[in-house]
Amino acid sequence: MNRINFLILFNFICVDSFYLPGLAPVNFCKKSDESDTCKSEVQLFVNRLNTEESVIPYEYNHFDFCLADETAKSPVENLGQVVFGERIRPSPYKIQFMKNETCKIVCRKTYSGDNAKDNLLLSKLRKGISLNYQHHWIVDNMPVTTCVSSEHNSQYCSTGFQMGCYSRNGKHNCGKLEGQSITQQEAYYIHNHVDLFITYHSGAKEEWGNKLNYKGGRIIAVKAKAKSIDYKGSECRPDASEMLSLPIKKLEKGSSFEILYTYSVTFIENNDVKWSSRWDYILESMPHTNIQWFSILNSLVIVLFLSGMVAMILLRTLHKDIARYNQIDNGEDAQEEFGWKLVHGDVFRPPRKGMLLSVLLGSGVQVFCMTLVTLVFACLGFLSPANRGALMTNAMMLYVMMGSPAGYVSARIYKSFGGEKWKSNILLTSMLAPGIVFGLFFIMNLVLWAKESSAAVPFSTLLILLALWLLVSVPMNFGGAFFGFRQRRLEHPVRTNQIPRLIPEQSIYTQPIPGIVMGGVLPFGCIFIQLFFILNSIWSSQMYYMFGFLLLVFIILVITCAETTVLLCYFHLCAEDYHWWWRSFLTSGFTAVYLFWYCCHYFFTKLQIEDAASGFLYFGYTLIMVFLFNLLTGTIGFFACFWFIRKIYSVVKVD
């Protein structure tokens, strides 16, 4: 078994019984054989158009393509699809199973120079072509792909295809041209013809039983090849050599321009690929798959290194310290105390801004629970790429439902600080972090509304999100806080002195800022390679499916954040600095700053975004991601340090 097969097996474990949860295979047959068990019409849906050169996607009808009948219904979209800006609409392309079509006309678009609106529509087409916007079509819940041959005779397939191509200064992005040539120095060529190649699996009686008419089959792949063809009239000729170029400037009055949209369909039988494996050809062609192994090994080496250091401290240095302290019997020996034992009377002194710290910790627990459960569901196959929008929907619903743990943890931590403003604690826990995220999201949504983008969330959906927050998450937060405040106050293993101890002058290595800056390096080193694939899936329209690896990296991140914070916390206590509360949160939380720097590096080196609106949206979404990641990693580091300090001071004899 090669590595790619192992990756797919690892990430889709136990998929024999439920490859696509909630999605059943569709049986197709010829129109003459249509029955209750199979259908003849193959529906083609169109999705939004997007590009790597802009963050702003657009709906299909934004560019004045051929539209379906007004009676055609759009499929129901879930909450995640709406928030992500997916707009799946019916198309005017009519396909019958096993019926090949050659150069079938979809519609004819005519633009007049006397109409200002027509010039605006042509301008949108030119802009879309210049920014390399891509169509995304769907057939039988499968993305329509474009496949090109790469090195070593392998094939790389990507979802979508270009809406057009352009030529500038003798260079073009039209790819391999078959029987066509580019003659103009500057031109915008619209892809007005699409060849669709639909591969199907015919099936067998022992495989599908008696439910299927054996003259039919199941679709396993849909590939497209887009062309620009200048028909020069009404005759549809798919072998024409001239390409259709859009007017570079506005149409003059009295002039007109016509685009004839056509398509061809070819059905190909392939019984070697089963329906349950139809996504493999897309997933296997994703680039840089082997780098995942390097990422995991790199992270494991860091974890082993940190675990060795922590074990050395706990089993050798710390064990000897505790044994020596516990052997002290007289007051004279007690004067010889040094290191972390000296600050036992101040180590549990409540920190400044304890209210804010407890609120951030509660919100961090909420993000941690949401992330962990989402990744577990994804590894079990419930959030596969075929189940569109399921990942985002699941994450949002889990975040709302995890309001109870957030309220409980925030209340217990705040009560341990001796806080009494329980109403303020509850309100801040339920409002602060969600309010920041929703505020940033709303501002970016205003920009998308102004740009008429498909990613703009409708006002009704915003009301649904507000209702989930205010009517579900906030009450659950109140419930968790109610039980948290009713619990007894956490009893610390040592008493706190009334007068704070003077902290000696610290060296540059034990000062707060250098320690915090160093604390985020190792956790970021565990995730930065995996982060590249995640950013590619978000901004470069690449499909992410390696949730098994992602869960493993998440576990490694948790261990690394915990061990790094414990190490630095121990060093600071040995330097007689007992201000560990905020420092433990900020040490591992500083990983989010490195995450932000990496996102900036990705923006300037990997993306080709130039317009200000797209840059604003990119960094706006990045700030949301960085803020939530800061809450996640900071909370992990705090509770690891909290457990460590309670543990070491609980086994030391203190007079």
> What is the tens place of the pLDDT at every residue in 483-492?
999 888 888 8
Percent of all residues in the chain with a pLDDT value above 70, rounded to a whole number: 85
Backbone angles phi, psi at 166, to 5 degrees: -135, 155
**Most confident of the ranges 183-197, 220-234, 591-605:** 591-605
Query: Can you give the pLDDT at residue 572?
Result: 85
Query: Can you give the pLDDT at residue 571?
Result: 85
DSSP at 274: -
Mean pLDDT value across residues 16-30: 61
Mean pLDDT value across residues 145-174: 80
Backbone angles phi, psi at 336, to 5 degrees: -90, 5
Q: Whole-angstrom Cα distance, residue 549 to residue 7?
A: 9
At 257 the three-state DSSP class reads strand
Over the stretch 398-433, which tens digit does the pLDDT of each residue have?
999 999 999 999 999 999 988 888 899 999 999 999
Q: Is it the case that residue 74 has pLDDT exceeding 70?
A: yes
Q: Whole-angstrom Cα distance, residue 241 to residue 179?
A: 6
Q: Whole-angstrom Cα distance, residue 263 to residue 191?
A: 11
Query: Can you give the pLDDT at residue 569?
Result: 87
Q: Whole-angstrom Cα distance, residue 506 to residue 486?
A: 40
Q: Whole-angstrom Cα distance, residue 222 to residue 138?
A: 9
User: Between the CA of residue 230 and those of 238, 345, 370, 399, what are the distances in Å?
Assistant: 9, 85, 53, 52
Assigned token pair, 141: 């819940």
Assigned token pair, 436: 């920041």
Q: Considering the entire predicted model, what is its pTM?
A: 0.86
Higher local confidence (pLDDT), 314 or 631 = 631
Q: Let me know: does 222 contact 139? Beta carbons within 8 Å.
A: yes
- Per-residue confidence at 16, pLDDT binned at 50, 70, 90? very low
Over the stretch 251-303, which tens digit does the pLDDT of each residue have?
888 888 989 999 999 999 888 888 888 888 887 766 555 556 666 777 777 77
Mean pLDDT value across residues 5-23: 39
Alpha-carbon torsion angle 180, 183, 184, 189, nearest 10: -10
In single-letter form, the type of residue at position 236 comes to C
